[in-house]
A and B are shown apart, each in its own frame.
Chain A
Amino acid sequence: MSKRVIVIGGGVAGMQTAATLAGLGIHPVIIEKGDRLGGKLLNWHKLFPTFTPAGEVLDTLRRQLKDVEIMTNTEVKRIEQSGVVLNDGRLLVSDAVVVCSGFDIFRAEIKEEYGYGIYDNVYTTVDIERMLNEGKVHTADGHIPERIAFLHCVGSRDEKVGQKHCSRVCCITGVKQAMELKELFPQSEIYNFYMDIRMFGPGYEEMYRQAQEEFNIHFIRGRISEASETIDKRVQIKAEDTLIGRPLKMTVDMLILIVGMKAGASNDRFAENRGIELYPSHFIRPRNQFVDNICSSAGNIFYAGTVTAPKNVGESLNEGVAAALRVSKYLED
């Protein structure tokens, strides 16, 4: 009888892990808390840097999961040596567990000074992906935006909200969305307020240059300090251009907060298992960051994807393959 492996989370990392396990003749079970597979990608429009539609990636992954057992609308409460305990108290027995529970999106409301949830025309990058998917990008009262500001590092590298880490992928997300909006509204002025631009992936730096040279998107080094609403519901922002050392004030039609990646809320619950440790950021800390970077201290628990750190889609997919191979090796021994 083939061995049974529980995969927690049905995002890209979980799907890739399960698909690889199935290919190796192992019996994976995906436990997904939502009602369908796909995770965050379900809400994404196009992926950087190639502008590949997120749906295409998901379709490919789904095709590989034809015979895989999937439990949707199911949540894991804790991880034990013998398997996982579900929220309804059931114990699912398995030979190994791969944790692919991903990340949470930073709640922009916490940075109250930017007015998300208070002012009509403050959005997050997540909202923009949804609006792009729906094909309805406009201001709250339906106008075409003439001036748009993106703010980088909302909930990343910000001690004041307990998010010291860099979420990595937001820089390129901001560039990508700026380009997409510029294509939609060629007449608009688009500004990106940043403290550093970190272009770590293949093709990212090139895209950043393209955004400036071909799309005429303005990059201003300096974070926005506060936002307020004008009478006509536009957003007035205050910032400092730190390259010229001058404070500046600007009124925009849309302020888009590029929200960072927060450690998954379930990580704390999982860490009740003695074999699972957390970083101070509450992302899960693998046994070591090099040769065992997808392994826990407990022998039969493995990790893939952003549950251990912010990663892009490609990296998460790679980890799915890697984790599956390690599981298979573990089950053989």
Chain B
Amino acid sequence: MMNYYDHFILPFAIGVTVLFTVILYKWIRWFVRMPQEDRRLVLRGIPTRQTLGAIGEVFMESLLHRRIWRVNPLLGYMHTSLAFGWFLLIAVGWVEASLQLPGEIIPLHAHVFFKFFAPEVDYGITGGLLGNIMDLLLLFVLSGVALAWFKRMRSKALGMQRTTKHVLGDRIALAALWFIFPARLVAESATSGLKHSTTFLTGNLGEWMVNTFGTEAIMHFSVYAWWFYSIVLGIFFVAMPFSRYMHIFTEIPLIFLRRYKVHSYEKAKSFDRFQIEACSRCGICIDPCQLQKDAGITNVQSVYFLRDRRYNRLTQEVAYNCLMCGRCETRCPVGIELNTLRLNSREKFAAMPADNRYAYLSSAADRSSGTSKVGYFAGCMTLLTPKILRAMDAIFKAAGEEVWYADKDGGVCCGRPLKLSGEVEAARRIMDFNRDLFRKHGITTLVTSCPICLKVFREDYHLKGIEVLHHSQYILRLIQQGRICVEHGHNSFTYHDPCELGRGSGIYEEPREVISQIGSLLEVDENRENALCCGSSLANIAINDAQQNRISQALAHELADTGADTVVTACPLCKKAIARNASQEVKDLSEVVAEALGQ
């Protein structure tokens, strides 16, 4: 048996050992610490179709990086060439090594240094073919490295206005990664030249090197070249599990777990680690962040938040400085649940409520009366924007709906603001009160005009038997059932998608359908999933009013550019925020409908 050992492979061998030891340790630890129900989901999911789906997704995302192609094709190509190219180098390299190297047992590392160990590098037809394929693959990866260098200088050409500011560990790993493939090219070429290979890249380059510098010089040089190649590989592998490159291996189990329906939720848990360490710090989340664009805040974006959380240095300031608008989440190529992770990082900072703080949640807090099939929960913000309340009144009246008003004479908050600030337990007490209230008054449909309330009713109230509707859905239904008539006029409207209604609850069509029954709808450039936030989000309690206002101004400007007569939105908070800076009239959807009510 041939000896596949030389001293220079040591850095590589140590690197690989450290890498897999650390990764295995992390994976096992995270998995073991997962709550029972999460582990059960995984075990139940393994023998299902989801496993096959996950394998396909790993191929599409971890290797091809399909989602990054959507951000920018050049950026997509860069990621594909690095990930898929390297993968193919390993896979084809194995084939090449097992076919070409003598001996029965070919150790796993032999393919990495194939050209060094092979006696003749393009032996036979397969050898020549494989050698050329390997050269082609190396060229493929090198083109990705070249793009990565180019991106450092001109990120805009790759569709990114701003890129991540990396920490030292990431910079070391990044530098090592940049050197791996050029080092491989040089080392392989030197050896190819000495062994008279004829492959198109390393063969020709090697021949040129030998002809130019002489055989003896290249013989000496090749030793250093292989050492260098092994060292940069070793450095990269050691740095990998501690740096951003941990994402390479973490995204794979994440894809499987996600397929098995494991999710993060309002309290932190072990599964979060799979999401946090799957972040590659690509920085795609930076550009869409309005805190960065409009308020000049540059250290709180999801990439930095996840980094800080991963290294246990998350500050309250970063955790709370987020609008939770979800614009970054829709773009994240790894599909990390950024809003949920932000939310559940806040709990440890939240104050414990005093025992008597919720003493008011007695039956006396119910100031409503009567029972009805349809309940209307205005919400605090609607009570502060009485035009909406009036409009809803007119609509209910026109439809002949008997309505139980949950909070017209004062009610209890829906609980979402508390939840967003991390006070999960306090929020729970409030939610329980309201749920009992809804049950007590016998409603089967719950309408709200506030998307903030809507989201929490839908996701946390578990209102079995009660259909929860946003007023946009309810109004559309009334129109479709012919219970109210609206007149189509000559006004033009533009519509602002509230974060909690659009990205938060997936309601995009209903408000648009209602508006198009009343007038013409002019869309802003960034709408639906990409809609801007109004800046007044309850989720951010770190920014000041001036910063909120700058975000609102940018939005008002976009809306004004449509040239529409009226700005329509479907959230009382958005309405107030936009109205501060709007040049046109700003109305809630219900107001527009109430004004268009026909006979």
Contact = CB atoms under 8 A, between A and B. Distances in A.
B167 to A, nearest CB: 36
Interface string A101-122: 0000000001011010011000
B383 interface: yes
Interface of B: 383-387, 390, 408, 410, 544-546, 549, 576, 579-580
Nearest to B581: A162
Contact of B385 (A112, A159, A160, A161): A112
A112 B390 contact: no
A113 B385 contact: yes
Given A110-B579, A110-B580, A112-B576, A159 B387 contact: no
A226 interface: yes
A161 B580 contact: yes
Contacts of A266: none
A228 B384 CA distance: 9
Nearest to B549: A162
Nearest to A117: B387
Given A112-B385, A229-B386, 18 more contacts: A110-B579, A112-B384, A112-B576, A112-B579, A113-B385, A115-B386, A118-B386, A118-B387, A159-B544, A159-B545, A160-B545, A161-B580, A162-B580, A226-B386, A228-B383, A228-B408, A238-B410, A280-B546
Contacts of B544: 159
Given A110-B579, A110-B580, A112-B576, A162 B386 contact: no
Contacts of B386: 112-113, 115, 118-119, 226-229
Nearest to A161: B580
Which of A162, A227, A238 has the most C-beta atoms of chain B within 10 angstroms of its own C-beta? Answer: A162
The CB with the most chain A CB atoms within 10 A, among B386, B387, B544, B545, is that of: B386
A240 to B, nearest CB: 13
Interface in A113-153: 113, 115, 118-119
A112 B545 contact: no
Give the 8 A-B CB pairs with smallest separation, nearest first: A113-B384, A159-B545, A112-B385, A118-B386, A115-B386, A226-B384, A118-B387, A226-B383
25 contacts: A110-B579, A110-B580, A112-B385, A112-B386, A112-B387, A112-B576, A112-B579, A113-B384, A113-B386, A115-B386, A118-B386, A118-B387, A118-B390, A159-B544, A159-B545, A160-B545, A161-B580, A162-B580, A226-B383, A226-B384, A226-B386, A228-B383, A228-B386, A229-B386, A280-B546
Nearest to B544: A159
Nearest to B380: A226
Interface in A204-256: 226-229, 238
Interface of A: 110, 112-113, 115, 118-119, 159-162, 226-229, 238, 280
A134 B387 CA distance: 30
A280 B579 CA distance: 19
Contacts of A118: 386-387, 390
Nearest to A164: B545
Nearest to B387: A118
Contacts, number: 34
Contacts of A161: 580
A266 to B, nearest CB: 16
A110 B585 CA distance: 12
B367 to A, nearest CB: 11
A71 to B, nearest CB: 28
A162 B408 CA distance: 29
A229 B386 CA distance: 9
A119 B389 CA distance: 12
Contacts of B384: 112-113, 226
Contacts of A160: 545
A162 B545 contact: yes
A267 to B, nearest CB: 17
A233 to B, nearest CB: 13
Contacts of A110: 579-580
Contacts of A227: 386
Nearest to A160: B545
Nearest to B388: A112
Contacts of B549: 162
Nearest to B390: A118
Contacts of B410: 238
Contacts of A159: 544-545
Contacts of A115: 386
A227 B386 CA distance: 9
A113 B576 CA distance: 10
B540 to A, nearest CB: 15
A238 B546 CA distance: 28
B370 to A, nearest CB: 16
A227 B383 CA distance: 9
Contacts of B546: 280
A140 to B, nearest CB: 16
Nearest to B409: A228
B535 to A, nearest CB: 12
A325 B23 CA distance: 81
A74 to B, nearest CB: 24
Nearest to B381: A113
Nearest to A158: B545
Q: Which of A110, A160, A238 has the most B CB atoms < 10 Å from its CB?
A: A160
B273 to A, nearest CB: 40
Nearest to A113: B384
Contacts of A119: 386
A124 to B, nearest CB: 17
A113 B390 CA distance: 12
Contacts of B579: 110, 112
B1 to A, nearest CB: 79
B587 to A, nearest CB: 11
Contacts of B576: 112
A106 to B, nearest CB: 12
A250 B410 CA distance: 14
A297 B418 CA distance: 49
A159 B544 CA distance: 9
A280 B408 CA distance: 38
A162 B579 CA distance: 12
A118 B594 CA distance: 14
A112 B390 CA distance: 12
Contacts of A238: 410
B137 to A, nearest CB: 59
Contacts of A113: 383-386
A227 B384 CA distance: 8
Contacts of B408: 228
A119 B410 CA distance: 18
A112 B580 CA distance: 11
Nearest to A111: B384
Nearest to A112: B385
A262 B539 CA distance: 30
Contacts of B390: 118
Contacts of B387: 112, 118
A113 B383 CA distance: 7
A332 B387 CA distance: 58
B386 to A, nearest CB: 5
Contacts of B385: 112-113
A240 B385 CA distance: 20
A128 B384 CA distance: 24
A112 B585 CA distance: 14
Nearest to A238: B410
A161 B408 CA distance: 25
A34 B545 CA distance: 35
A119 B384 CA distance: 13
A119 B390 CA distance: 10
A119 to B, nearest CB: 8
Contacts of A162: 545, 549, 580
Contacts of B580: 110, 161-162
A229 B384 CA distance: 13
Contacts of A229: 386
